[in-house]
Amino acid sequence: MLHLQDAELHTNEAYPGTQAVARAIALLKAFSDAQPEWGLRELAQATALNKTTAFRLLSALEAEGLVMRNPLSGGYRLGVEMVAMGGTAMRSNPLRAVSRPNLETLAQTVDEASTLEVLVGSQVLIVDEVSSRHPMGMSQDVGSRLPAHATATGKVLLAYAGEGGSAPLPSSLVRMTEKTIVDPVILALEFEQIRQRGYAVAVDELELGFVAIAAPVFDRERVAVAAISIGGPGLRLTADRLPEVTGLVQMTARQISRQLGYWPG
């Protein structure tokens, strides 16, 4: 006898068109900042589809404006309708709407860029950012994905993920700089420290010269649904400033958490 979850999965697999939708989504998710354009053959290989199936799905997506062809190279890129849909999704995101005023205040107070990020697998996704006024400020684009183990926000979210412990790490961790922690044992120890003190710091771990401080944002179920951070060059975010900045980041995270219905206890 099938459990409800198994029955639902079986129903989804048997429902006409489900496989085509899943394959179309896989094609769209293959595009990234590192790979904004694909040739048909390469995209088919990357998504484990044959060329005929990939071409048929891409033609349907192109007709809806979700992908477009580069007239010079003939390669595929994400279309303008994806931009419109992404903007709608961001504007309707309640977490982003609640956090935005607090991020703006934090960025203005510290005079460095502030971000709101969520955990997606082994990466963090930047949901929102408020840039600093510095012309040489260090920032990341909204929608960018970064390796969680190399960022302050990612380490916070990994530390608080799961029931009573940190989230499992991928078998191979990318070393972004010589300071990136890639030893799972050392990371586990740091996750424990993060849970004890309530914040994470990353110095030169994502990029040499870049410093970030992050704190978790909790919802009413006391789940860490996001993290906020302040990040900037080490020349400005010096060791002397870190205690003050850390306090401001934690205070802002608590304010957002309470607006989401969280109450410590």
What's the 3-state SS for 42-65? HHHHHCCCCHHHHHHHHHHHHHCC
- What the block records as the tokens of 258 is 């309470």
- What the block records as the tokens of 238 is 């010096």
pLDDT for the residue 2:
41
Alpha-carbon distances of 248 from 70, 98, 102, 113, 242, rounded to whole Å = 46, 17, 11, 13, 10
Do residues 114 and 130 make contact, with C-beta atoms less than 8 angstroms apart? Answer: yes
Q: Quote the CA–CA distance of 226 and 93 in Å, as a whole number.
A: 13
Residue among 12, 21, 62 nearest 38 (CA): 62
Summarize pLDDT for 187-209 with one digit per residue, the tens.
999 999 999 999 999 999 999 99
**Helix count and strand count (H, E) for the chain:** 9, 8
Q: How far apart are the first and last CA of the chain?
A: 42
Quickly name the fold that domain 4-79 has.
Arc Repressor Mutant, subunit A (1.10.10)
Q: Quote the CA–CA distance of 102 and 255 in Å, as a whole number.
A: 8
Q: Quote the CA–CA distance of 220 and 162 in Å, as a whole number.
A: 16
Which DSSP string do the residues of 169-194 spell out, in sequence order? PPSS---SSTT----HHHHHHHHHHH
- pLDDT-wise least confident of 71-80, 127-136, 152-161, 233-242: 127-136
Bridge partners (DSSP) of residue 120 are 123
pLDDT for the residue 233:
94
Residue 135 vs residue 99, higher pLDDT: 99
Quickly name the fold that domain 93-259 has.
Beta-Lactamase (3.30.450)
Tokens 């860490």 correspond to 224
Alpha-carbon distances of 244 from 53, 221, 230, 239, rounded to whole Å = 56, 29, 12, 10
pLDDT for the residue 135:
56
pLDDT for the residue 172:
82
pTM score: 0.68
- What the block records as the tokens of 104 is 């703006």
Contact partners, residue 255, CB within 8 Å, separation at least 6: 102
Q: Where are the domains of the chain?
A: 4-79, 93-259
Summarize pLDDT for 53-63 with one digit per residue, the tens.
999 999 999 99
Q: Quote the CA–CA distance of 217 and 44 in Å, as a whole number.
A: 39
Average confidence score pLDDT of the chain: 86
Compute the average pLDDT of residues 239-261.
95
Q: Quote the CA–CA distance of 190 and 152 in Å, as a whole number.
A: 11
